[in-house]
Amino acid sequence: MSTIRHNWTKEEILEIYNKPLMDLLYEAASIHREYHDPNTVQVSTLLSIKTGGCPEDCGYCPQAARYHTDIEGNDLMSVSQVKAQALRAKASGSSRVCMGAAWRNVKDGEEFDNVLEMVRTINKLDMEVCCTLGMITENQAQRLAEAGLYAYNHNLDTSEEYYKEVISTRGFEDRLQTIDNVRKTNVTVCSGGIIGMGEHAEDRAGMLVALSTLDPQPESVPINALVAVEGTPMEEQTPVEIWDMIRMVATTRIVMPQTQVRLSAGRTEMSREGQAMCFFAGANSIFAGDKLLTTPNPDVNEDMEMFKMLGLNPQKPFVKKSQPETIEAADSQYKALGEKPKWTRPGHVIEKNELAKQKAKETVVRK
């Protein structure tokens, strides 16, 4: 078995990333077969339980309130609405439901209590439950764990160096602190990033250094291709080449052998042949459904046709880790503390983010 290393350097990862493609694919596929069933892919459904109105300035995100996009916002969904969506996802072959809320960070109160009830409800359906809710404290992570949360997603997005070119309203260290808070519970960690935001290969390697040197490494790493949305600062970015996605998936597989590598946003721009090469390179998880929070995604029936063509099978729930127990709210050991943590606000100016913000203001005035 390949050794799990936590001391990868940027230079080593760049050397892997830049290998001749056939050598890279062979090495990645060989490692993939050591740790995973190469013909099994986890299917997850991503559900936006609260859309739009986010106070952050992430340059890639159409949910940021400061940019003018065509995203239709909505308040937090009800528990019954989420249950109905989860049942639909389960019937279509998903083993995991990932719930996303456009929040900077979790705040104790009625909305978070409702999210905890959503987690309990989905876990009782014998599905894995993942949440991505922004920054969380250790106590909030413990409350999610008690409810039966299987995984918490908190992407690093890119390298620490390039992060400053993408986001100015929070610091890279906040991402690491949230992951550390989750690690103090029995909840697994899902953390990856986006390529195609104008970064260099060195930044892609830097992100993988940050993820692979965590101990333990994340159980799940999403690799997203930027979906450039009109109105965001990155609306003019050229779509990333499929070869970049294949190289990124393969490199991630090599440096994090046990991790489930998620082929995430941007699949609508990928051919079946391109996706097949990503699976061969080590991707063993996808998001199904016609939307990833707010951006387009292949129809689940198309994915099932692709699976049949490639001889792939959906992964059953709780294969990598046993199903967590659900503790009811009345029996919870951890209660709301009304915490007000001081997450960082770096405050530097990103010119293209400011230009998109000004453009949004002018659009509103004209209307």
Amino acid at 158: T
Reference 340, options 137, 114, 100, 112; nearest CA is 137
Distance CA 93, CA 25 (A): 28
- The active-site residue, picked from 58, 96, 131, 143, is 58
Active site annotation includes 278: no
Active site annotation includes 131: no
Q: Which two tokens stand for residue 312?
A: 């792939």
- The active-site residue, picked from 98, 131, 204, 253, is 98
**Binding site annotation covers 98?**
yes
**Binding site annotation covers 267?**
no
- DSSP for 338-360, written as a single string: -------------HHHHHHHHHH
**Binding site annotation covers 278?**
no
Collapse the DSSP code of 154 into the 3-class scheme (helix H, G, I; strand E, B; otherwise coil) and give the result. Answer: coil
- The active-site residue, picked from 190, 204, 247, 278, is 190
- The active-site residue, picked from 96, 120, 130, 247, is 130
Read off the DSSP letter of residue 367: -
Distance CA 329, CA 323 (A): 18
**Binding site annotation covers 131?**
no
**Binding site annotation covers 54?**
yes
- The active-site residue, picked from 204, 253, 262, 267, is 262
Active site annotation includes 98: yes
Q: Do the strands 128-132 and 96-101 form a parallel or antiparallel pair, or are they unpaired?
A: parallel
**Binding site annotation covers 58?**
yes
Active site annotation includes 262: yes
Cis-peptide, bond into residue 216, ω within 30° of zero = yes
Can you say which residues are annotated as belonging to the binding site? 54, 58, 61, 98, 130, 190, 262
Can you say which residues are annotated as belonging to the binding site for [2Fe-2S] cluster? 98, 130, 190, 262
Can you say which residues are annotated as belonging to the binding site for [4Fe-4S] cluster? 54, 58, 61
Residues with a known catalytic role? 54, 58, 61, 98, 130, 190, 262
